[in-house]
Amino acid sequence: MKQVLIVDDDIELCDMVAEYLQGEGFQVTTSHNGQTGVDMVFSEESHYDLMILDVMLPGLNGFDCLREIRKSSQIPILMLTARGEDIDRIVGLEMGADDYLAKPFNPRELVARIKAVLRRFQASGTTHDEPSVLSNGEIEVHPAARRVMHHGNLVDLTSTEYNLLEVLIKNAGSVVDKATLSSQALGRKLAFYDRSIDMHVSKLRKKIGCSDEGEQLIQTVRGIGYQLIKY
């Protein structure tokens, strides 16, 4: 049974979401304080498969919590933001959130988002048809361990950033449209005006750097999608 941690100071909302998720087969723990939520993530007695984190928390807000957690944990995090606050969504994605959902939301959509994030996060096993290492120039992707190396150095990626890179490196030299990236890396259909792919690719670019010639390894193909330069 997957364990979900909800951190939101709205007690009534927490209770409602917890009851719904439990009905969907999840084990749910709630916290109404940001610092307590962070401490629970790092507790040796607990193991959570996913965290639902509200942006507007008193004291240590959602962004502060996300920053602390991402220093040493890649637990999947779904951020809850106020409706219309696009800047919250963008900042959250840039800081390492895996997905976001605006309040108020439909509980069924929340469950769908949670399942999509968990599917992306689960380690992908290799088969006899799939190489143990995907290489392109100085980039190495190890699917079984979900590990990425660049110039021999370990690259610390979120689960979504890893998924994007794996799709791109499997299609190195070819353009991958945003709809395909959203489906294969985010686990959902591309929505109108959805900038999630762009935000995640922007962070991924910063982490893997440029080629030895100073060229961006991930190229934007305007109006279509992205392409990883093939070496």
**What pLDDT, on a 0 to 100 scale, did the predictor assign at position 125?**
40
> CA 121, CA 96: separation in Å to the nearest integer?
13
What does the mean pLDDT of the chain come to? 86
Q: How far apart are CA 14 and CA 169, in angstroms?
A: 40
Question: In the chain, which segments carry CATH 3.40.50.2300?
Answer: 3-121
Query: What is the rounded distance in angstroms from the CA atom of residue 74 to the CA atom of residue 99?
Result: 13
Q: What is the mean pLDDT of each run of 10 residues along the chain (231 residues)?
A: 94 95 95 94 87 92 92 88 74 84 92 90 47 79 81 86 92 91 85 84 88 82 90 80
The helix or strand, by DSSP H or E, that contains position 165, with its residue range, turns out to be helix 159-170
pLDDT of 127 reads 37
Provide CB contacts within 8 A for 111, sequence distance 6+.
Answer: 20, 21, 24
The tally of CA atoms less than 13 A away on the side-chain side of residue 121 is 21
Other Cβ atoms closer than 10 A to 60: 17
Residues of the chain with CATH 1.10.10.10: 134-228
What integer pLDDT is reported at residue 14 of this predicted model?
95
Confidence at residue 91, expressed as pLDDT on a 0 to 100 scale: 79
Q: Whole-model pTM?
A: 0.60
Class level of CATH domain 134-228: mainly alpha
* CA distances to 57, 185, 220 from 146, in Å: 32, 13, 24
Classified by CATH at the fold level, domain 3-121 comes out as Rossmann fold (3.40.50)
Widest pairwise Cα distance in the chain: 55
Enumerate residues 6+ apart whose C-beta is below 8 A from 214.
Answer: none
Question: How do strand 99-103 and strand 218-221 relate by DSSP bridges?
Answer: unpaired
| C-alpha span between 198 and 203 (Å, rounded) | 9
pLDDT at 113: 92
The residues pairing with 203 across neighbouring beta strands, listed in sequence order, are: none
